[in-house]
Structure 1
Amino acid sequence: MKRLAPSFTFEKQPDRHPGLDGARGLAVLAMVMGHTLDALLAPAARALPWVQHYWAFRGVTAPLFLLVSGWAVVAALGTKPTAARDTYGRRVRRALLLLFLGYLLHWPGWWAVRDLGWTEAMLSKVLSFDALQCIGFALLLGATLLRLAPARWWGRAGVLLALAVGVPLVSAAMWRLGVGLPGPVQQLIGSAEGARFPFFPWAGFFFAGAFAAHALNLLRPGWPQGLALVALGAGLFGLTHLMPSDWSPTSPWMVAYRVGQGLVVMGAVNLLPRRLSGLLAPFGRLSLWIYVLHLPVVYGWADIAGLAGRVGQTLSLPAAVGVGVALLLVCALVARVGRWVREQVRPWRTGSTTLGSTVGGARLGTRV
């Protein structure tokens, strides 16, 4: 009797180059450490020169996080012309998940909602805008436009380039138009106070990473993509030095400057030996859940105080770094255990998906 070939296998396939996951891992590592140090470092420790240099480096953390998220989304499409249409439903679901998690992290608690009442202040507080919301809305917009765009190389390239350049350029005008609109809309646009990563101009980082992934998708990961990313980032970084600097929150110059820095970092991680970038890759594959887990611990959630409220800015530099490292490892462990439990409960999903996990909805691993 003829045996039928199995439709899937649980055997592990060869891993992809860990450079992209390593860059995402570096971003989430810097983010966890930055949040922890900001919440716990004593004033005397903050004044140390080494710490001041670190604060300057922190400026590239969030742009790098968004860049790699945009890269991951488009890299997963590959070169198949119909990929944007075939995966549209999955990407919409992923975007909705990101929006749900982003708003859930900022839930102020029932007592705060009751005290504020049904007011503009309450809606603005409940619907405060942050990084996950920015990625979620960018993913939703990008996936929709790519689905409608011509299924050719230039179609995708045109859409992504227009978004990467257009979002920063119109940011100042959008902020002005947003004045007087409902609070949640101002949070999204950026004209309201408290919006940490408003869509304008922060979505520009997401779309810049997406465009870079599309432009370089024919190059192999590792040295070819690494050298191209370093060259592209260095060129953009050098171009910004020929223009007047502008650090205002709606500045296209600021976006271009940080994109150049982020692309150089992504390229440098790709150029590292696989053993070194592979040390960061596990954190990159769990970056969404590490991000979600560490924020309530550091800053609290609803009416439950976090480290910032319970400990405050009282620790020395070694103690604060130790807390940050421990928090990163514990969050990664919890996320890994959660993934394992999910795989045991839904083993069929293991066989039908890919090995990598995502922040922006991409599935980058080799199909099983």
Structure 2
Amino acid sequence: MAAAPSGLTGRVRARRLRLDGPGRAPGIDLARGLAVVGMFAAHLLDTSPFDPGDPATWTDVVNGRSSILFAVLAGVSLALVTGGPERVEGERMRIACGRILVRAALIWAIGMLLIGLGTPVYVILPAYGILFLLALPLLRLPAATLFAVAAAIAVVAPFALWFIDGWPGWPTTSGQALVALVGWHYPFLLWLAFVAAGLGIGRTRLGQVPVALALLCIGAAAALVGYGVLGRWHAVVPPSGLWAHILDAGAHTSGVAEAIGSGGFAVAVIGACVLVCATPARWIVWPLRAVGSMPLTAYAGQLVAWAALQPEPTPLQFGSDLVAFRATDPFWPMTLATVLACSVWALLVGRGPLESAMAWLARVLVPARL
């Protein structure tokens, strides 16, 4: 039996190997790290509409797609904590659901606190907490059913959203308060499709190379349908109205084209990350994997740092405040600082502070024996 690591060097080595140990999925950690950095870029970079022929516009790939990747990965995480391909049953599933319920409430509360900081971004966490709740009835479904549910929601929900978004009360004070409370910039009616797709992915043998290749190919094909086929149809419909909304593949438009295109893009990214981490290249991307092992801490830390750096924070001013902050070129300093901080924390401590606190509270409130 090997001796336990001793001294600082031994502990650092153990922490480094933790991200490859039992219970970790290196490819999922990498995908989470990319999603976090992508959301940083969406917040902090001034991007132009994507044009395949103009490399200067390629950074626009982060807009909308990073947050959707985040949502798909939420579903993968829920699947993994409930047994992955061999989902738990009985009391173990009830305990898992109880702890997910606690995490959902905490994520929603953290999101509301971050909104109170006044940073001019749409905070995803309130919607994230609600999605955790809505995903609870889906945890017992098999992978094939979950993929069917995801596809059905992606096709049907945009029609409902077209009518819901026409509610005249949204611009009012109470309407804006409701938007903040439910994270309506990430409408859960549609975004449940991404979580369901992630649950389906998590119910597969994700660590196997053929499965990862299938995800990469299927995701790429869906992206081609959403952005290519449906996107072309969007060009020939009237510029406004229901069908213009349904066939719009633009970021945060909540159309069928965006749901299929961006959802497929997220699935392809996950497949690619799993393939990368099946090779020795997983050590090259270890710092990004460290970020992905504590995504809540990294995401919240960025917004706290942003609030601290703003000279005079003013709640939700998405015009001059955002332009002025982006003009300071904060993306690379904040991203590199986050990668460095997460890497050092992962080596010296292990699990992220917010992740550890949430896991501890979930275990206290929902003990192993009900």
- TM-score class, shorter-chain normalisation, is 0.5 to 0.7
Give me the whole-angstrom Cα distance separating, in 1, the residues matched to 2:126 and 2:132: 10
Aligned residue identity for 2:28: L
Give the structure-1-normalised TM-score. Answer: 0.66
Q: 1:300 deviation in Å?
A: 5.0
1:292 aligns with 2:300: yes
- On the 8 A contact 1:236/1:260 being kept in 2, the answer is yes
Pick aligned residue for 2:325 from 312, 315, 321:
312
Give me the whole-angstrom Cα distance separating, in 2, the residues matched to 1:292 and 1:177: 31
Pick aligned residue for 2:224 from 238, 254, 262:
238
Change (3 A) 1:271 1:136: same
Measured against aligned partners, the alpha-carbon deviations of 1:330-362 in whole angstroms (never above 9, x if no partner) come to: 55268657766979x99x96xx89xxxxxxxxx
Pick aligned residue for 1:32 from 40, 53, 56:
40
Give the structure-2-normalised TM-score. Answer: 0.66
Q: 1:35 deviation in Å?
A: 2.5
- On the 8 A contact 1:105/1:301 being kept in 2, the answer is no
What secondary structure does 1:80 align onto? coil
Larger relative contact order, structure 1 or 2 (CA cutoff 8 Å, min sep 6): 1
Q: In structure 2, what is the equivalent of residue 146 of structure 1?
A: 138
- On the 8 A contact 2:223/2:265 being kept in 1, the answer is yes
Pick aligned residue for 1:283 from 291, 302, 315:
291
Q: In structure 2, what is the equivalent of residue 329 of structure 1?
A: 339
Change (3 A) 1:239 1:33: closer
What secondary structure does 2:229 align onto? coil
Q: 1:242 deviation in Å?
A: 2.9
Q: 1:163 deviation in Å?
A: 4.7
Q: CA RMSD in A?
A: 4.2
Give me the whole-angstrom Cα distance separating, in 2, the residues matched to 1:283 and 1:98: 18
Give me the whole-angstrom Cα distance separating, in 2, the residues matched to 1:228 and 1:304: 49
1:29-108 equivalences in 2 (<5 Å): 29-38=37-46, 50-78=55-83, 79-82=87-90, 83-107=92-116
Give me the whole-angstrom Cα distance separating, in 1, the residues matched to 2:289 and 2:309: 28
Aligned residue identity for 1:133: P
Measured against aligned partners, the alpha-carbon deviations of 1:67-102 in whole angstroms (never above 9, x if no partner) come to: 111221123222223354331110110000110011
- On the 8 A contact 2:150/2:194 being kept in 1, the answer is no
Give me the whole-angstrom Cα distance separating, in 2, the residues matched to 1:262 and 1:100: 26
Aligned residue identity for 1:98: I
- Runs of at least 5 residues in structure 1 that lack an aligned partner in the other structure: 1-9, 44-48, 110-124, 354-368
What secondary structure does 1:87 align onto? helix
Q: 1:295 deviation in Å?
A: 1.1
Change (3 A) 1:15 1:99: closer
What secondary structure does 1:176 align onto? coil
Change (3 A) 1:30 1:310: closer
Change (3 A) 1:157 1:60: closer
Percent identity over the alignment is 22
Aligned residue identity for 1:230: L
1:229 aligns with 2:215: yes
Q: 1:235 deviation in Å?
A: 2.6
Q: In structure 2, what is the equivalent of residue 360 of structure 1?
A: none
- On the 8 A contact 2:131/2:192 being kept in 1, the answer is yes
Change (3 A) 1:87 1:17: closer
